[in-house]
Amino acid sequence: MADTASIDYREVNLRENSSTASTCTGSNRRDFKDNGFRMTSLQQQLCSSNIWIAIVASFLIGLLLGKFDIELLSNKASNMHSIVMKEATTSADSSGAVLVTGATGRTGSLLYHELKRRGVSDVRAFVRNITKAQSVLGCTKCDESEGVYLGDVTKPEDLERAMMGPRSGGSSPVTTIAIAVGGSSRLSPDMQRQVEFDSVVHSVKALAHAHENQRNHLRVVLCSSMGTNQARPPSSFANILFWKLNAETFLSTSALSSTIIVKPCGLPEGMVGKNSTLVVGHNGTIMAGTEYHSVSREDVANVMAESVVMANECGKSKHLRFDLCSRPGPVTTDLKGLIEGARWEWDN
């Protein structure tokens, strides 16, 4: 009998525990009586209330933590947006200088003065002849104190000196180069290569070496020429267009953060600038079928100056290469819009 009673007691306890668990989870809300114990309706309600309190508390805690996560993500997104927008509005680094190579040439001198007129704070000229610089650029001493550097574009050491600038006086290194150097078909084949191609390579290397730790704010604007896409260019150009094309290719793959290649059509002497409608395009086809195949050097210099100072557009390529020509019509005044119009249709 003792053994039987003991077994019955354990069975009762097992049933009691099972019923209690079932009640607290809300799956069986019966009152039961065993050994004088009775779960009242009030106790059941309290058990259910505790569960609901726990659920609500968990929800509120989760909501609070979620709010913190959202705020954290929002702050991170805001910071990232600020960084992106800062980059998107970056043109030539305002703390750096702009170096114009070929600055005493017919196009380079116009570009130098246009950048000065636009208020670029530190415009430097790379020249081969001081006397000519005094006449064309209007400098007095025409030395490094006035931002005029005497040198040869075919000599890397001369370009490196111009990139760094004077060591004293708080002068900043060059962050943008505007290349307006051009050779003549009358030069020897070797000199044609040195002027049209090697000098571009030397210029880019000097710029990159001056900024070994950070190069994401550098820009090069190159004046090339239409016609480099021709398989057999006119013999009167000798090897000039071939080496210009090589310079374009090198610059496009130079890993600098921003490169702009302006390819003008014919540049007749004495053509008046700011007097026509400018046209941009690609692959030498923009003036096909027309009698207009020229653009003024002044217009080329103005487009290059705009290319130097214009801000990068967020989400758009920082590398442009386009033909430039003109035709009779209203004067083009929105040069930024003109350059933006040279983008491929998928670059938006």
d(CA 59, CA 36): 39
State mean pLDDT over 78-98: 55
Q: Which amino acid is at 88?
A: A
Assess whether pLDDT exceeds 60 at residue 295.
yes
pLDDT band at 60 (very low <50, low <70, confident <90, very high): low
Give the 3-state secondary structure of 56-125: HHHHHHHHHHHHHHHHHHHHHHHHHHHHHHHHHCCCCCCCCEEEEECCCCCCHHHHHHHHHHCCCCCEEE
276-292 pLDDT, tens digit per residue, is: 999 999 999 999 899 99
Q: Once rounded to an integer, what is the mean pLDDT over residues 130-153?
A: 95
pTM of the model: 0.74
Task: Determine the pLDDT at residue 47.
Answer: 53
For residue 43, pLDDT over 90 is answered with no
Report the C-alpha gap between 290 and 281 in whole angstroms: 14
Whole-number percent of the chain with pLDDT over 90:
62
Q: Bigger pLDDT: 136 or 216?
A: 136
Q: Which helix (H) or strand (E) holds 307?
A: helix 297-309
Helix (H) or strand (E) holding 252: helix 240-252
**At 2, is the pLDDT very low, low, confident or very high (cuts 50, 70, 90)?**
very low
Closest CA to 176 of 230, 249, 120: 120
Residue 34 pLDDT > 80, yes or no?
no
With cut-offs at 50, 70 and 90, classify the pLDDT of residue 44.
Answer: low
What is the rounded end-to-end Cα distance, in angstroms, of the chain?
93
* Residue 230 scores a pLDDT above 80: yes
pLDDT recorded at residue 168: 39
Residue 183 has pLDDT above 50, yes or no: yes
Lowest mean pLDDT among 9-23, 56-70, 247-261: 9-23
Flag whether pLDDT at 310 surpasses 90: yes
The CATH architecture to which 95-340 belongs is 3-Layer(aba) Sandwich (3.40)
Question: Predicted confidence band at 178 (pLDDT cuts at 50, 70, 90)?
Answer: very high
Residue 111: closest CA among 226, 273, 228? 273
Which amino acid, one-letter code, is at 124? R
Q: What integer pLDDT is reported at residue 11 of this predicted model?
A: 40
Please state, rounded to an integer, the average pLDDT across all residues of the chain.
81
Q: How confident is the model at residue 51 (pLDDT cuts 50, 70, 90)?
A: low
Which pLDDT value is given to residue 338?
97
For the segment 7-28, what is each residue's pLDDT rounded down to a tens digit? 343 343 434 444 434 434 444 4
pLDDT at 33: 40
pLDDT band at 62 (very low <50, low <70, confident <90, very high): low
Predicted pLDDT of residue 66: 60
Question: Residue 1: is its pLDDT beyond 50?
Answer: no
